[in-house]
Chain A
Amino acid sequence: MSNPLLQLKDIRKSYEISGTLYPVLQGIDLQINRGDFIALMGPSGSGKSTLLNIIGCLDTPTSGQYLFDSTDVSRFSSSKLAEIRNRNLGFIFQNFNLIPNLSVLENVLLPGFYLGQENISKAHELLNLLGLDQKLNRRPNELSGGQRQRVAIARSLLNNPDLILADEPTGALDSKTGQEIMNIIVQLNQKDKKTILMVTHDRNIAKMAHRIINLSDGKIT
């Protein structure tokens, strides 16, 4: 039974650099269902991050239609897109992207702050679950890479999003730590039924997903 969370229809994206148009995405059609776990693969520069950012409402396509939860968001205002990012999406980045002068707890609470619902008990619960209950008041630079990525995962989950977007979440970690992080991500999909779209160039990691999508020359192959 297909239950589409989002649909991309002929999504194109090109960058203009000194008058010349460089096409990056050249007609992407993609449907992601609730509960999916998709790995996005492809050579460097093929447009994986660009696609992920468009799906993540951080970027807008040059043309095409993007339906999120049956709503066309491709022409949404920056404020509406911010709302979708805040309520429906969770980001996990390769380089963690934590705010350095905020504590672990404050970093995790931030999405709640912008939602207008400060959910301290949820933050504690997530940090407990991820084994960070001893680190609440530490700064990110006092933590190891794996710990930082777990803080980022906790942050991405605070507002209980529909979709988790992970751009090479293990890219900056050693393989053992990367494996731990992957276990968490797999659990998110299996236990918490989160929909996950993950960019990776590691075939072994991609194998943990339900479905692998290959991107090459701006097209899904």
Chain B
Amino acid sequence: MTSTSIILKTFRLAWKSLVANPTRSFLTMLGIIIGSLTIVIVVALGQGAKKEIEQQYSSLSVTTILINAPSTVEGAKSKLSYKDVSELTPIQSLLIVVPQLSGRVQMQYQGNSSNLAVLGTDPGFQTLANLNLLQGRFFTSEDDEQRNKVVVLGAVVAEELFGSRTADVVGKSIMVGKKEYQVIGLLEYKGGTVGPTTIDDSIFTPYSVANRYILGINGRFNINAQAKDVASIPTAIDEISTVLRQSHNLKPGMNDDFRVRDMGTTVSSAVGSSRTMAILLAAVGIVVLLVGGIGIMNIMYVTVTERTKEIGIRKAIGAKEEHILIQFLFEALIMSLLGYIIGIIFSFLVYYLLIKFEISAIAVWWSYFLSLAVTLGIGTFFGYYPAQKAAKLNPIDALRYE
């Protein structure tokens, strides 16, 4: 008889003694079931959150730099202004610098009326935000200089006002606030935001138009820039700060009245914090598994005591310590493994429910292995001591036990 078949037999033996007591075995496995399920689901949730964040920022390249006035400085009105755009434009490490004047306003086309976002900016914004046109054109510098009342629509705006994301809109006139504007272009659906702006929910006009006719001082002003490349981001941020402090007449020691952030850092810190959350939750899963392991250990101790006589008989007819050790270790492992399998089956159900309720979750293959490894580790660890106790029993004492 080979050692493989000894292992198979021992496995069968352990299995038999588990099914002999199904209720107890199931209750013992409960901790493992919940623990392995938790790990898999938590990883799926973490992955879902990460994907969502990445999608949210996908329209921006990592070289994008956002400059805004912190809203916390209440009362002291920020000096960040349109003038700063021309101050920043000469900076070598920046490819594009554009203003962003944003706000919400009532828009109307025939019977459809909706309160939607407006963004007044420069033509460079199209490159910066990587916008693709479905129809028509983006506005130009002439539009800006001549304050032409032209707008480019985001996909969702077209849907709201014209009933479809791909409606024929170029050449149509819409009411923005109290004035009439001509639609010159329609953007592809994008998904995601640029700073405070959700591309698809916005209309885009030249800065001068938004400033004079639509938003004025009610708009939120900030500046977007794009660095030449990733390597020049730190230099660019430094230079922006220097220029703005000068332009705002800030003395050394005074706090900045503006904030400069680069997208790369922002995205990675958002991803980082969602990862921290996932790790935290995974830790909860591991703690649940640990508690499950302690449950297994307790029941194994009870089992060993109950079966002292059997252990004595086995030893009398020639079982060595390692035979008994393996037998009981297998029982612990089978319980863990079974608990894991049941846990994974339940995880499919939970996953299905998450998706159904539109909670972002993405199943990841390695989470199943992680969960399996932790489960088996815990089964071995907590099964070992009771199994060891069984193996070390003195045959005579065990035989006498009633």
Contact = CB atoms under 8 A, between A and B. Distances in A.
Contact of B320 (A53, A79, A91, A100): A79
Contacts of A91: 316-317
A85 B318 contact: yes
Given A97-B399, A101-B16, A113 B320 contact: no
B318 A114 contact: yes
Given A116-B1, A117-B1, A99 B318 contact: no
B20 A82 contact: no
Contacts of A114: 314, 317-320, 323
Interface in B306-339: 309-310, 312-323
A56 B315 CA distance: 12
B318 A111 contact: yes
B317 A111 contact: yes
A97 B316 contact: yes
B17 interface: yes
Interface in B83-98: none
B316 A78 contact: no
B136 to A, nearest CB: 81
B310 A99 contact: yes
A30 interface: no
Contacts of B5: 118
Interface string B384-402: 0000000000011001000
Interface in A146-190: 155, 159
A86 B317 contact: yes
A99 B1 contact: no
A208 B313 CA distance: 28
B318 A86 contact: yes
B318 A115 contact: yes
B9 interface: yes
B6 interface: yes
Contact of B318 (A82, A98, A101): A82
Nearest to A86: B318
A132 interface: no
Contact of B314 (A56, A87, A99, A101): A99
A58 B319 contact: no
A83 interface: yes
B310 to A, nearest CB: 5
Contacts of A101: 16-17, 20
A111 B313 CA distance: 11
B6 A113 contact: yes
A29 interface: no
A1 B226 CA distance: 108
Given A58-B399, A97-B399, A101-B17, A85 B321 contact: no
B336 to A, nearest CB: 22
Interface string B118-162: 000000000000000000000000000000000000000000000
Given A53-B396, A58-B395, A116-B6, A155 B316 contact: no
B1 A82 contact: no
A69 interface: no
B313 A97 contact: yes
A112 B318 CA distance: 9
B316 A58 contact: yes
B1 A118 contact: yes
A82 B6 CA distance: 17
A33 B93 CA distance: 102
A197 interface: no
A57 to B, nearest CB: 9
B319 A82 contact: yes
Contacts of A98: 313
B1 A59 contact: no
A100 to B, nearest CB: 8
Interface in A69-123: 78-79, 82-83, 85-87, 91, 93, 97-101, 110-118
Residue among A114, A117, A118 having the largest count of chain B Cβ atoms under 10 Å = A114
Contacts of A111: 317-318
Nearest to A165: B316
B334 to A, nearest CB: 16
A128 B311 CA distance: 28
Contacts of A93: 399
Contacts of B313: 97-99
A79 B316 contact: no
B1 A87 contact: no
Contacts of B1: 112-113, 116-118
B24 to A, nearest CB: 14
A115 B314 CA distance: 12
Contacts of A53: 396
Interface string A1-33: 000000000000000000000000000000000
B314 A83 contact: no
Contacts of B315: 58, 82, 85
A114 B6 CA distance: 9
Contacts of B312: 97
A149 B238 CA distance: 93
Contacts of A82: 315, 318-321
A83 B316 contact: no
A159 to B, nearest CB: 8
Contacts of A116: 1, 3, 6
B399 A85 contact: no
Interface string B1-43: 1010110010000001100100000000000000000000000
14 contacts: A82-B315, A82-B318, A83-B320, A85-B315, A85-B317, A85-B318, A86-B318, A98-B313, A99-B314, A100-B310, A101-B16, A101-B17, A111-B317, A113-B1
Given A59-B395, A82-B319, A114-B317, 5 more contacts: A53-B396, A58-B399, A99-B313, A110-B314, A111-B318
